Amino acid sequence: MHFLPPVKHYFTARPRLLIAIGAGILCYWCLPAQFSTLLRLMIGWNALAWLYLLFLWWEMMRAGPDDMRAIALRQDESASTVLALVTLTCMVSVLVILLELSTVKQLSGSVKAWHLILTGVTLVVSWALLPTSFAMHYAHLFYRDRDEKEIPLLFPKDPKKPLYWDFLYFSFTIAVASQTADVATGTTEARKAALLQSVISFVFNLAILGLSINVGAGLLG
Determine contact, residues 138/193, Cβ cutoff 8 Å. Answer: yes
Sequence-ordered list of residues with C-beta below 8 angstroms from that of 215, at least 6 positions apart, any chain: 101, 116, 119, 120
Estimate to the nearest angstrom the gap between the alpha carbon of 125 and the chain centroid.
8
- Residue 22 has a pLDDT of 93
User: Which pTM was predicted?
Assistant: 0.86
Distance CA 209, CA 206 (A): 5
What is the identity of the amino acid at 173?
T
In the chain, the percentage of residues whose pLDDT exceeds 90 is 25
What is the identity of the amino acid at 217?
A
What is the identity of the amino acid at 31?
L
**Distance in Å from the first CA to the final CA of the chain:** 48
The 10s digit of each residue's pLDDT in 10-59 is 667 678 888 999 999 999 999 998 888 888 888 999 999 999 999 999 99
- Residue 2 has a pLDDT of 43
